[in-house]
Amino acid sequence: MKKTALFFFILCIINTYSFAQDDLTTTLNLMPWPKEIKANDHQLTIDKNLTVSIHGQGQDRIQLAAVNFIRRLTKRTGVFIDQGFPITDKKGTIIITFQKRTALNIETDESYILQIKSDHITIDAATDVGAIRGLETLLQLINHNTSSYYFKGVTINDAPRFVWRGLMIDVSRHFQPIGVIKRNLDAMASVKMNVFHWHLTDDQGFRIESKTYPKLQELASDGLYYTQNQIKDVVAYASKLGIRVIPEIDVPGHASAILTAYPEYGSHQGEYTYEIERFAGVFDPTLDPTNPETYNFLEGLFTEIAPLFPDDYFHIGGDENEGKHWDANTKIQNFKKENGLTTNHDLQTYFNIKLEKILNKLGKKLMGWDEIMTPTMPTTAVIHSWRGENEGLPKGGSLISAAKTGYQTVLSNGYYIDRMLSVKHHYNVDPIGNVKLTDEEHSLVLGGEATMWSELVTPTTIDSRIWPRTAAIAERFWSQQEVSNLNNMQLRLKDVNFKLEELGLTHIKNRNVILRGMTDNQDISALLDLSKICEPLKVYSRNQGGTEYKSFSPFNLFADACVVDAEDAIAFNTLIDNFIYAPSDTKRAKILVYLSKWATNYERFSNIKSNPKIEPLAALSKHISDFSKVLMNSIIQKRLTKAKHDALTTQLIALNQPYADVEVMITADLKILLDYCTDHYLVN
Amino acid sequence: MKKTALFFFILCIINTYSFAQDDLTTTLNLMPWPKEIKANDHQLTIDKNLTVSIHGQGQDRIQLAAVNFIRRLTKRTGVFIDQGFPITDKKGTIIITFQKRTALNIETDESYILQIKSDHITIDAATDVGAIRGLETLLQLINHNTSSYYFKGVTINDAPRFVWRGLMIDVSRHFQPIGVIKRNLDAMASVKMNVFHWHLTDDQGFRIESKTYPKLQELASDGLYYTQNQIKDVVAYASKLGIRVIPEIDVPGHASAILTAYPEYGSHQGEYTYEIERFAGVFDPTLDPTNPETYNFLEGLFTEIAPLFPDDYFHIGGDENEGKHWDANTKIQNFKKENGLTTNHDLQTYFNIKLEKILNKLGKKLMGWDEIMTPTMPTTAVIHSWRGENEGLPKGGSLISAAKTGYQTVLSNGYYIDRMLSVKHHYNVDPIGNVKLTDEEHSLVLGGEATMWSELVTPTTIDSRIWPRTAAIAERFWSQQEVSNLNNMQLRLKDVNFKLEELGLTHIKNRNVILRGMTDNQDISALLDLSKICEPLKVYSRNQGGTEYKSFSPFNLFADACVVDAEDAIAFNTLIDNFIYAPSDTKRAKILVYLSKWATNYERFSNIKSNPKIEPLAALSKHISDFSKVLMNSIIQKRLTKAKHDALTTQLIALNQPYADVEVMITADLKILLDYCTDHYLVN
């Protein structure tokens, strides 16, 4: 899949350079970082005369990409470019050359060579998709001084490390309109991701129109589903971006919605009312694998749905089936005995093998979550590795064993972005790591997918849960394994994060929307400052305790305004680290700026006319202000009394509690600072 | 069209109350203001037990409206309501009763009666659409104290003044994706508008898929058009909101796009290359009304497009045809002579009458801009009055004369929101005003439409050009003529404006997006403060001078971040008015707060690392800061030297110039303040 056309190979031999990441990463905000990059002294000014020309056969994708490139360049620079479309008669300022329009599959060549000289820029690629990847890199190279915008001179020789660089979006728990999907596809393309895995069905809703089985959308979607025309539209849109679309119809578990529409295929013995599930969790409704009609139904459904998705792969889910209804059903138990199926895993494998035959007839490879990897499952299936230490598996989960057994495999364990963990956590997860694999095994590790499960996200908040962390994961999938400097990644990510806004993503702007809504459009500065040091509760703990979220519960609360990697908390953490390592007056002054901002929070908070939505934050605001005030004064006065020390210690415990579904992310650093004060300023 | 079912009539007689607007408008943020409203002492608390029940036949629209009502109530209050969907077995807390599912036309009964008591709420309406209007009113009645949200007790008896309350969106000059259209439909419904006029074609693009004439979208849309499925989807979406959709295919002028695809129907004599127009303006390409094939083409096109739009009305444009190509074409000139058509108006009427026959066969009424109203045009046509004093017509334009002649008519003159005039300007325009009309004539004045022409707007900015001003125009169309207090309207509009954000409108949040983009994500406070006193150049003057915008030029510049009715300018204006009327220390202090904010602007602006996009604003920032500093000090010191007076006078002239396509909106008030200082503090 990383075969490069001969002329590239020769080019590479002629120009045998390879620069380490650190040489240029401080000046260039590229993400994902390219395979090889070399700076030169050239610089091409962006002015109204800039033109783009395209050379190659089959230009539908690249024409659109070039137009969008010009639009984004225009927005970024404000330059009134004369030629709003690629020119056709001669070579442009930017000359795009490619060999062929490519099919989208795991063999697609996405490599490109980008050269920026003073008078022109070339992008050379074996395929149109490679050229598209090059255009995204070029957009990341726009620079400016006071009087003009320009491209900085570089030569880049780039190709991905993994062929499968995916994002999964769950549209069942919370439906996501087409606009949400499209803007996230744009964002994916901007960081060179190439697989959109569409989790279309689950207990909470069946989201795709079936003409064969219309009750699926009529009874099991609350009216929130994609028409087949919309599906085709999204698939075509993704294809233009060089993104494959893999549908997932999750069976035999996660089937409450399917069985709400067609209860006759369920496993429950006797009367049972299946209903669209409103809560989050793992539920019992399961298809009956012993009923031949179940397969007729699935064959009918797959035969209708598969052609909407031209991709070779088709995801059948297969996860989290606890088999309770199977165990309680004597007919199913008898079937197992009759067919020598000892465990429920055996029964599910029986089911999976039947599905694989259906899918093969439709020209599809079966893909499923790693529960499908049983001793009897043929290695023609594709293993989507999701479980790891949290689910009682060894570190790294099933990915390596799948590859060693001979399965193609894709990693999502470690990339569950809905767990609301730091970008550093995900960036540190390497699909292969230090494991030694044969070339054959290595080629079976296709890549990975970030997974956006949507129990706790809505169209308003989903972007801020996907981005910017997924950009760093995209780099993990595209860039060489050695590209791993966390601090450098975070610097570049800051720029990428902001630039994602130009694609219409709402991850930044919707925070204030939520806060305005919470305050009835009053001054939000106090809440905004709080949100910069708080993060939503992690690892599904938000859904515990007194609050039990349903799919239609409010998700525009304070926790929804907060994001992972809270900006002031991150900056404060760096500051405290530096201060403790080498204290200085400058750093002390910066610390006081933060403490003083937090010290006034409660006063500002109290100026907001209260309402039931912000009332639960009063205690949080007060604790932070009280603590910050005392600590600030102790630092200014270089004096901490025992009484104040004890009070602060008690308050820290309070700050470590969750408030309104958020956790305060500065408490560890406040503790360090308190300890410093204790060591240096404590008086009796 | 305002026929009310008998039981309502009786109800009205029993409860003969009618409260003046001013009694409640200071406490209730209703917009449009209802016909009759009476407060009571009841109050219904919103808690998790709230339910909605629906009683009436044909519930598809009202079910969706009720679900959306519950979702918005949930978002607004944060209450975890148990029943996320209407209940079916018994009466709910909110009881919706209607008589029938209505067709959407100019006879649709949209009246409703809303009663809020302590233990339940009733909405009674003749039709489902009336009930939907009532639900929007109810959402505007949500109130809160510190501990709970509640509905304030009222009885409202409401019905619209006009049956046609429209918004036109031009999607030709700048294409607007489906998501933009849908969120604006939601916003329209929230202020009870009921006609979406879709200006689908113009010189700059043909935006609707034709299967009969596919070159229209293939050659004349740049790939930016709606598929027929998308059109159907939008029409269905609008219908669910009780909104009619009127398509406009603009002919015979504004036809550059059509003729780019099918030049054979053009009027130019001899060789001519028609091209998609990139600039704004009035252009020559015109269909040939003397060519029988033109009518075959239009009949084919209309026959295909008309069924996509179930509405009775079909808009054929007909505006701004200057007939240059007609005058220069001997064949057309001969045709005119042969057929006794003296003027080009006669020729166009000949064309319009032929089109009306085609449309009548398709079950449609022909509607056109007011140029179609010629002495020979049958009164079966519908006149869309757009020209007024600016176009050399008498004040009020053609609306009244159309009604007096016997045409149905709709007013847009005075509601051209793309002219970027103040909300007060539009709110003051009454379709009928003081003109005496017979009942028959009165009934021919159907209502009005705000028009959003899109030469200067993109999907990023269009919401901020439509809203909130269109909400005030919606009130003009719905509410009684006496509802006209400007200050009170502005108070209520402030609340409506903010609440529109809950529907996903971007009119507030995209300002910061543009400013972040301009600064490369630096501190935007200086630009934000500037944007609050600046407005984009008005009445199409932006497109003059050195800058000539094309459709693909950048529209994310400072002028695009600015909006009409700049908030600080409005507030400052009120403050200065009050101060001059009755000076006081408090008011003086408030004035100094503004001046001090502006005085520091240039310092903050200078801290931004400059780039070519913000560089043109440096002079603006500096002038404002310099002026504010000197004036502020004069007020503080109560001393203004002659030299300073002269300098300020000169600077004011500079501030009256346009900067980067904006005008500074505080200069008149600064002049008043300077005059005050001159009168009171001038020393030699």
pLDDT, mean of residues B576-605:
98
Mean pLDDT of A380-391: 92
Characterise B580 by phi-psi region: left (phi > 0), alpha (psi -120 to 50), beta (else). alpha
DSSP letters for A494-539: HHHHHHGGGGT--TTHHHHHHHHHHHTSS--HHHHHHHTTEEEPPT
pLDDT band at A544 (very low <50, low <70, confident <90, very high): low
Are B129 and B108 spatial neighbours (Cβ–Cβ below 8 Å)? yes
pLDDT attached to residue B140: 98
Q: For A511, name the nearest residue in chain B, comparing CA atoms only.
A: B509
| A415's tokens | 């990339």
Contacts of residue B611 in chain A, CB cutoff 8 Å? 144-146, 149
Kindly list the distances between the CA atom of residue B358 and the CA atoms of A29, B199, B202, B301, B406, in Å, as whole numbers in the listed order. 59, 20, 21, 11, 22
Q: Which residues contact B571 (CB under 8 A, 6 or more apart)?
A: none
Distance, CA of B121 to CA of B138 (rounded, Å): 9
pLDDT of residue A14: 39
Catalytic residues of B: 320
- For range A71-85, the mean pLDDT: 97
Calculate how close chain A gets to B645, using CA atoms only, in Å: 34
Cα B106 vs. chain centroid, distance in angstroms?
Answer: 20
pLDDT for A318 equals: 96
Percent of chain A scored above 70 by pLDDT? 96
| Average pLDDT for chain A | 94
The DSSP 8-state label assigned to residue A661 in this structure reads T
pLDDT class of B22 with cuts at 50, 70, 90 = low
**Encoded amino acid at A653, one letter:** I
* Cα A81 to the center of its chain, rounded Å: 34
Rounded distance between C-alpha atoms, residue A247 and residue A317, angstroms: 10
**What pLDDT was estimated at residue A623?**
97
Q: Name which of A38-42, A434-438, B539-543 the model is least confident about.
A: B539-543
* Distance set, CA A526 to CA B173, B341, B527, B528, B678 (Å): 42, 72, 22, 19, 41
Quote the pTM value.
Answer: 0.95
In B250-307, which residue ranges form alpha helices assigned H by DSSP?
Answer: 256-261, 292-305
Q: Which of B76, B74, B54 is nearest to B121 (CA)?
A: B54
Q: How many other C-beta atoms lie within 10 A of the C-beta of residue B82?
A: 13
- Cβ contact B550–A84 (<8 Å): yes
Residue with tokens 């990693």: A411
Query: Is the bond leading into A468 cis (omega within 30 degrees of zero)?
Result: yes
**pLDDT tens readout for residues B506-560:** 999 999 999 999 999 999 999 999 999 999 999 888 866 667 899 999 999 999 9
pLDDT of res. A24? 74
Q: Give catalytic residue positions of A.
A: 320
What integer is the mean pLDDT of A42-71? 97
In this predicted model, what pLDDT tens digit does every residue of B466-505 receive, in sequence order?
999 999 999 999 999 999 999 999 999 999 999 999 999 9
**Tens-place pLDDT, residues B42-55:** 999 999 999 999 99
Q: How far apart are CA B251 and CA B320, in angstroms?
A: 10
Q: Are B674 and B649 in contact (CB under 8 A)?
A: yes
Question: Which amino acid, B72?
Answer: R
Residue B520 falls in which region: left (phi positive, over 0), alpha (psi -120 to 50) or beta? left
Nearest chain A residue to B229 by CA: give it.
Answer: A229
Sequence-distant (≥ 6) Cβ neighbours of residue A594 within 8 angstroms:
A568, A572, A575
Q: What integer is the mean pLDDT of A554-571?
A: 97
A16-24: list long-range contacts, CB under 8 Å, 24+ apart: A17/A155, A21/A482, A21/A483, A21/A485, A21/A488, A22/A485, A22/A488, A24/A154
Q: Does the beta-carbon distance from B611 to A144 stay under 8 Å? A: yes
Average pLDDT over residues A270-286: 96
pLDDT at A96 over 70: yes
**Mean predicted confidence (pLDDT) in B582-600:** 98
Average pLDDT over residues A580-604: 98
Torsional sign, CA A380, A385, A391, A394: positive
Q: Average pLDDT, stretch A618-642?
A: 97
Angle ∠(A14,A18,A21) on CA atoms, nearest 5? 160
3-class SS letters over A312-381? CEEEEECCCCCCHHHHCCHHHHHHHHHCCCCCHHHHHHHHHHHHHHHHHHCCCEEEEEHHHCCCCCCCCC
State the pLDDT at residue A395: 73
Query: Cα–Cα distances in Å, from A211 out to A225, B261, B314?
Result: 13, 36, 33
Q: With cut-offs at 50, 70 and 90, classify the pLDDT of residue B390.
A: confident
Are B517 and A75 an interchain contact pair (Cβ–Cβ within 8 Å)?
A: yes
What is the share, in percent, of chain B residues with pLDDT greater than 90? 93
Which tens digit of pLDDT belongs to each residue from B599-628?
Answer: 999 999 999 999 999 999 999 999 999 999
Spatial distance between the Cα atoms of B368 and B362, rounded to a whole number of angstroms: 17
Question: How sure is the predictor about A396, in pLDDT bands with cuts at 50, 70 and 90?
Answer: low
Give the pLDDT of residue B252.
Answer: 98
**ipTM exceeding the 0.90 mark:** yes
Q: Average pLDDT in the A571-597 region?
A: 97
Instruction: State the smallest CA–CA distance between residue A221 and chain B in angstroms.
Output: 13
Degrees (nearest 5) of the Cα angle A500, A506, A512? 125
Fold category of B31-158 in CATH: Chitobiase; domain 2 (3.30.379)
Task: Verify whether the Cβ–Cβ distance A552 to B177 is below 8 Å.
Answer: no
Fold (topology level) of A167-186+195-460: TIM Barrel (3.20.20)
- Among B308, B516, B608, most A C-beta atoms within 10 A, so best to mutate, is B516
Is residue A68 within 8 Å of A24, Cβ to Cβ?
Answer: no
Token pair belonging to B441 = 């004539």
| Distance between CA atoms of residues A426 and A128, nearest Å | 30
Distance CA B377, CA B401 (A): 14
3-state secondary structure of A443: helix
CA quadruple B423, B429, B431, B433: dihedral, nearest 10: 140
Query: Of A596-605, B17-26, B556-565, where does mean pLDDT reach its minimum?
Result: B17-26
Cα(B165)–Cα(B446) distance, integer angstroms? 8
- The CA angle B126-B127-B133, to the nearest 5 degrees, is 105
A499 → chain B, closest CA residue: B517
CB-nearest partner of A611 from B81, B144, B513: B144
Contact B387, B318 (CB under 8 A): no
What the block records as the tokens of A455 is: 């129990």
Would you say how long chain B is, in residues?
Answer: 684
Q: Which amino acid is at A83?
A: Q
Task: State residue B545's pLDDT score.
Answer: 63
CB-based contact A608:A636 (threshold 8 Å) = no
Chain B residues whose beta carbon lies within 8 Å of the beta carbon of residue A513: 501, 508-509
Closest among B647, B666, B673, B669 to B530, alpha carbons compared: B666
Query: What is the rounded distance in angstroms from the CA atom of residue B626 to the CA atom of residue B624?
Result: 6
Facing residue for B80 by CB, picked from A85, A498, A553: A553
Distance of CA B639 to the CA centre of its chain: 47
Q: Is the confidence at residue B316, as pLDDT, over 70?
A: yes
Choose between B17 and A392: higher pLDDT.
A392
| CA angle at B41 for the pair B37 and B47, rounded to the nearest 5° | 100
Most A-contacting residue of B144, B180, B543 (CB-CB within 10 A), to test interface: B144
Contact assignment for B554 to A74 by CB distance below 8 Å = yes
| pLDDT of A11 over the 70 cut | no
Helices (H), B29-59: none
A-chain residue closest to B145, CA distance: A611
Closest by Cβ to A612, choosing from B67, B78, B612: B78
B259 vs B276: CA distance, rounded Å: 9
> At residue B242, does pLDDT exceed 50?
yes
Residue ranges per structural domain of chain A: 1-27, 31-158, 167-186+195-460, 511-683
Distance CA(B664)–CA(B652), nearest Å, equals 10
Count Cβ–Cβ pairs < 8 Å, chain A vs chain B: 137
First to last CA, chain A: 70
Residue B39 burial (CB < 10 Å; 0-12/13-18/19+)? middle
Predicted confidence at residue A393, as pLDDT, reads: 83
State yes or no: pLDDT of A12 exceeds 80. no
Nearest to B663 by CA among B605, B623, B607, B611: B623
Spatial CA neighbour of A347 closest among A327, A366, A368: A327
Q: Is the pLDDT of residue B18 over 60?
A: no
Reported as a pLDDT band with limits 50, 70 and 90, residue A6 is: very low
Question: What tokens does A449 get?
Answer: 């997918």
Of B84, B509, B610, the CB nearest to A552: B84
Q: Which residues pair with A383 in a beta bridge?
A: A368, A409
Whether A167-186+195-460 and A31-158 are alike in CATH topology: the answer is: no
Please tell me what DSSP assigns to residue B43: E
Tell me which of A51, A178, A185, A555 to substitute to probe the interface with B (most B C-beta atoms closer than 10 Å).
A178
- A133-140 average pLDDT score: 98
What does the pLDDT read at residue B456? Answer: 96
Chain mean pLDDT for chain B: 94
The per-residue pLDDT for A22 is 54
- Residue A545 is predicted with a pLDDT of 63
